[in-house]
């Protein structure tokens, strides 16, 4: 009978018949893998806890800096600084606009002067006919004034450039006559008057 055999022998044979060696090896490998995974998990947990503590310290430092900045911040000074910056910005913009306008004006004036220079160069040294006539008239006036001054007569122009007053000096008598020139009298009349005054 089976029960007459030693139970340990039966168990041993039963275990041998089940062939549990590969299962034991698998269980051993699984236990090793679980131990490795547990070690890796513990290591990651420690690293995460260390990073969390570091981030907590950094957050606390930032909170402290923020609190100090909030305490040190003066809203009235900030608004005053903003107003000053806006004023400076407006002044700079205005100055830039004025400079741009002045630049455009100077460019326009430069173009006009270039055109004038080109005209003068085209006319030559003597200039055009109206210019020559005007210069000759001016030369004639200057010549007359020189002659008058040589005779002791100073002709004075008004604000419009018209000759309206004559100062006649008589060196022999140390006398001075001031004559207002009126266009209704002829040049012949004034010539005789000047001559008689100088001779008298």
pLDDT in tens, 104-133: 999 988 998 888 888 777 766 555 566 666
Mean of the pLDDT values across residues 126-152? 64
- C-alpha of 31 from chain center: 76
Longest dimension (CA), the chain: 190
Can you tell me the distance from the alpha carbon of 143 to that of 159, in angstroms, rounded to the nearest whole number? 21
Question: If you search the block for the tokens 């266009």, which residue do you land on?
Answer: 183
Q: In the prediction, which pLDDT does 1 show?
A: 45
The pTM assigned to this predicted structure is 0.30
Percentage of the chain lying above the pLDDT 90 cut:
28
The domain made up of 152-199 is a member of CATH 1.10.10: no
Mean of the pLDDT values across residues 1-28? 75
């Amino acid at each position: 009978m089976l029960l007459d055999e030693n139970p340990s022998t039966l168990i041993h044979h039963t275990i041998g018949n089940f062939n549990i060696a590969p299962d034991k090896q698998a269980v051993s490998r699984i236990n090793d893998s679980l131990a490795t995974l547990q070690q890796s998990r513990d290591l990651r947990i420690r690293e995460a806890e260390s990073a969390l503590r570091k981030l907590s310290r950094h957050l606390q430092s930032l909170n402290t800096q923020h609190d100090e900045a909030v305490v040190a911040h003066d809203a009235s000074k900030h608004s005053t600084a903003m107003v000053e910056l806006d004023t400076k910005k407006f002044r700079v913009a205005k100055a830039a606009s004025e400079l741009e306008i002045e630049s455009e004006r100077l460019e326009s004036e430069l173009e006009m002067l270039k055109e004038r220079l080109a005209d003068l160069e085209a006319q030559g040294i003597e200039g055009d006919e109206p210019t020559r006539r005007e210069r000759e008239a001016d030369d004639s006036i200057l010549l007359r004034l020189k002659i008058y001054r040589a005779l002791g007569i100073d002709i004075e122009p008004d604000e419009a450039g018209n000759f309206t007053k004559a100062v006649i000096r008589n060196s022999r008598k140390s006398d001075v006559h001031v004559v207002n020139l009126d266009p209704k009298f002829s040049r012949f009349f004034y010539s005789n008057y000047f001559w008689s005054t100088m001779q008298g």
